[in-house]
Amino acid sequence: MKQLQYFLKDRKATWLELFFDLIFVVVISNITHMLAHTHHGHLDWNYIIKFPLVFIPVWWLWANHTVYSNLYDTDSRNHRIVTLVIMLLMVGLSVFIDVDFDRIFYGFITVYSLIRLIIAVLYMMSQKKHENDDRHAKMLGLVYLINTILGFSAVFIDHDIRYGIVYLSIFLDLFLPPLLGRKMEHAKIHSEHLVERSGLLIIILLGESVISLSNTLQGIAWNAFNIFASVTGFILIGGIWWILFDFIYLLTENKNIKKAYLIIFPNLLLYMGLAVIANLIRHAILNDLEIGTFRFLAIVGVIIFFLGKQIPYYILFPKIRKYIFLNTGIVFILTVVSCLLPRAEWILASITGTLFVYIFSTFRYMIDEDIAKRHIEGNVSGFKMLFLKK
């Protein structure tokens, strides 16, 4: 047990975990690129539909390995080698990221199932690392192994039902462990580490958004509109960083986070929202997407992003639920109103303004200013800061 990172007093994400996150973002960037291709100002709706269908399975690989590392990482030579093998397979998986899923189906599912198989075996081999926790690792490993076999069986079916089989296996992976929660009561996650891993991945995704912004600016014909969109796009990325990380310490210090899905599931929405918003910035700069589709992506991107951001706080902090609900509702209304504007650049600027309205309202109406000031000076803990104005 002394070898487990889980029991370290001041546990931090390892360098290998950061490397793993970087590889994951490389794969995700290929998926995000589905929303970047336009043809005569139109984005094929097939691309929009396939985006979440490809994003979710790849995200689940990251989530599955991240939770495993949270509970059982020893940072040993064997753990590093196996993780590097998974990373190599993830790079191989990126080769099979394509909207033409029929063409790449067999390769994608084969590599995907191999990664899932390795993670399932890792769980089963870790069943004695936690005291009184044999049942948790063994049950998770068996669940993942059975579902991996179920998903891989789709390669033997020459019918569209094979897609349903693949997503059924993922669905069972996602929802069976929470249903078995009582039988796995000893499996309590290291909440500080899981929140840190999620936050670090967001930082890398934001960095990828800046890279995408920079690449978009290469070789374009400059005019007032795309200059305005470029500056607004960077301010939007900065605003996203602000609203995500200003109060993330509240999650880090919350001792009520005992199950991984409380953080992992909402982050799926958050990551997908970030991917959509990154493409909005690109399309606003290039002005290469018809306004109706741009409006649709803007509304969907902002909504799923904010849902992913707000759900953990809504669940964990009952005293401020009405304020979270109110602020989120204001953001949704302002986003829809923003999309009534006639140009993509103006819509992007209005959505950026909406984020800063949210930032202001959060500070002004949810947090006591005097307590906030003392917190900044380091005299008050994060939990004590959570008092509301009367």
Distance CA 93, CA 70 (A): 24
**What is the pLDDT confidence band of residue 34, given thresholds at 50, 70 and 90?**
confident
Average pLDDT value for residue range 21-43:
87
Residue 151 near residue 120, CB atoms below 8 Å:
no
3-class secondary structure, 107: helix
| DSSP reduced 3-state for 148 | helix
What would the pLDDT profile of 47-97 be if each residue is shown by its tens digit?
Answer: 888 889 889 999 999 999 998 898 888 888 888 999 999 999 999 999 888
pLDDT band at 364 (very low <50, low <70, confident <90, very high): low
Taking residue 10's Cβ as centre, other Cβ atoms within 10 Å add up to 5
348 neighbors 278 (Cβ within 8 angstroms): no
Q: Is 201 exposed, middle or buried (0-12, 13-18, 19+ CB in 10 A)?
A: buried
C-beta atoms surrounding 148 within 10 Å? 22
Q: Compute the mean pLDDT over every residue in the chain, rounded to the nearest whole number.
A: 84
Check residues 338 and 382 and name the one with the higher pLDDT: 338
CB of 279 closer than 8 Å to CB of 36: yes
Positive/negative CA dihedral, 200, 61, 56, 88: positive
Rounded CA gap, 202 and 200, in Å? 5
pLDDT at 132 over 80: no
pLDDT of residue 388: 40
**Residue 366: DSSP 8-state:** I
> What is the chain's alpha carbon radius of gyration, rounded to the nearest angstrom?
22
Query: Any long-range contacts for 288-291 (C-beta under 8 Å, 24+ apart)?
Result: 288/38, 288/41, 289/38, 289/41, 289/42, 289/43, 289/344, 290/41, 290/42, 291/342, 291/343, 291/344
pTM for the model stands at: 0.85
Q: Compute the 3-state secondary structure of the chain and give helix, strand, coil in percent, each to the nearest 5.
A: 75, 0, 25
d(CA 282, CA 209): 9
